[in-house]
Amino acid sequence: MYQLNEFDKREELDSQLADKVADILTKAVATKGKASIAVSGGSTPKGFFTALSQKDLPWNDITITLADERWVNMESDASNTRLVHENLLQNNAVNAKFFHLKQGDELCEETLADLNLAANSALLPLDVLILGMGEDGHTASLFPCSDEIDECFTTQSPLLKVSPKTAPHDRISFSFAALKNSKNVFLHISSANKKAVLNSALAETDIKKMPIRAFLQDPEINTNVYWAE
């Protein structure tokens, strides 16, 4: 299920979310010697990335990855990896480890098999998951009514290839099974338009039409929604 946290300003949201995430990561490192966090792409998390990067954390013991990635070169404006390197792996966070989802030129079965093994060893279960949400209700690269939507929700493999019909580029995405096992799940959204999408997602239950519903309505998932105008 979900808990809605509303803020008057995005700067306040970013600061409060960074404080919360920093506390979770610090405690995870103290308990088990390491921590992992997956973040979303797009423009929304930039302020949060900057706020978190300035925290005095045991960054050498923290691994950052992405909930999903477009299969493009890091130099591309469409690269979420570039976004993280330019906005999160800065300041104090420059010493954090980064788990690359986009490896090599071809997204094939062999690549997926290697990444799944590495993810199980280095990342999972995630201590923190920061999700975003598209206007069609997709999250990570779990796109509504895509050819892979059934596999997204049924596979037990951590990662899978997704080729959305409504968005450019092949993608690699964490599956629902991997995402739902995260110890702390956050949905980070802003603008009145995204609030309307959130309300629409809460109005019905078909997760294939709006995959974000799985994180908002599953009683086994405690999703903290952080929203600001």
| Percent of the chain whose pLDDT exceeds 90 | 93
In this structure, are residues 122 and 82 in contact, taking their beta carbons and an 8 Å threshold?
Answer: no
Tell me: pLDDT of 103 over 90.
no
Q: Residue range 161-169: average pLDDT?
A: 93
Tell me: pLDDT of 105 over 90.
no
Integer angstrom CA distances of residue 199 from 20, 168, 213: 25, 26, 10
Q: Residue range 35-42: average pLDDT?
A: 96
Residue 104: the pLDDT is: 82
E strands, the chain, in order:
2-7, 35-39, 62-66, 68-70, 97-98, 128-131, 159-162, 171-174, 185-190, 223-228
Tell me: pLDDT of 88 over 90.
yes
Tell me: pLDDT of 106 over 90.
no
Distance CA 204, CA 226 (A): 21
When pLDDT is cut at 50, 70 and 90, the band that residue 108 belongs to is confident
Q: Residue range 26-50: average pLDDT?
A: 97
**Average pLDDT, rounded, for the chain:** 96
Q: Which residues contact 182 (CB under 8 A, 6 or more apart)?
A: 38, 125, 126, 127, 128, 129
Tell me: pLDDT of 101 over 90.
yes
